Structure 1
Amino acid sequence: MRAACAVVAPGLLPLYDRAKDQALAEAVEHGSLKPVHAYLSHWAALIEIERHPAVARAYHRAEYLARIATAPDEAREHLALAGSLYREASQAVRAR
């Protein structure tokens, strides 16, 4: 998955590596693979988003607009779009 991230979103590699290290540390700490499964599922969805430039632009724009929104309803609207795009990507990964 790291190789795919390097191809479609090389700027995300530092975040990818930190997330991997954190998931592995949590797995060891808790004696469970759940953190690793969650990390893999999350990054599979993010990489699926990044594979499609138009979707990636819409996703990042929605996240950005949610962060700078001045009204809760405005933030909620942008977060709903980002969430929808993320869910679609997650479903596409699971369908494979």
Structure 2
Amino acid sequence: MTASVPEQPRIPQPPETVTALRQAVAQIAPAALPSFSRELDQAADEARQAADLAPLRRFTAQWALYVQIQRHPAVAERFRELEDLATVGDADQARRAAAELGRILDAARAALTQGRQ
């Protein structure tokens, strides 16, 4: 039996800046660009109204996590499958899917944290 070779990411993880994240999303998930723009506009409006950068920090953290997952096609595919299963599956399937989604998100957050160090 041979060991499987870990999948290489499609692109390097970009810095957590709006410009770098936008470029990454355009490259690996162009269909998500309208959501990216809409959520950026909303975060910018909230930041202006509150005179606080927290909404923009949340925005970049959320999209960095999205990119971290999408960089790995097999992980991204599994994530989409689990999202669907959590929506259309029975209660037990939905619980299992939610638990696995949580593990994927935890691993992606850990990778981002490790990348910052």
Q: Fold conserved (TM > 0.5)?
A: yes
In structure 1, what is the Cα distance between the partners aligned to 2:40 and 2:110?
A: 22
Aligned counterpart, 2:15: none
For the Cα contact (< 8 Å) 1:45–1:89, is it kept in 2? yes
State the percentage of identical aligned residues: 37
Deviates more, 1:85-94 or 1:36-45: 85-94
User: Counterparts of 1:61-76 in structure 2 under 5 Å?
Assistant: 61-71=81-91, 73-76=92-95
Aligned counterpart, 1:23: 43
1:86 paired to 2:108: no
CA-based RMSD: 1.1
User: Counterparts of 1:42-81 in structure 2 under 5 Å?
Assistant: 42-71=62-91, 73-81=92-100
TM-score, length basis structure 2: 0.76
In structure 2, give the amino acid aligned to 1:59: F
Higher share in helix: 1
Q: Which runs of 5+ in 1 are unaligned?
A: none
Which runs of structure 1 show a deviation greater than 6 angstroms over 4 or more consecutive aligned residues? none
Superposed displacement of residue 70, structure 1:
2.8
Aligned counterpart, 2:9: none
Q: What is the aligned residue count? A: 95
In structure 2, give the amino acid aligned to 1:43: W
In structure 2, what is the Cα distance between the partners aligned to 1:49 and 1:68?
A: 22
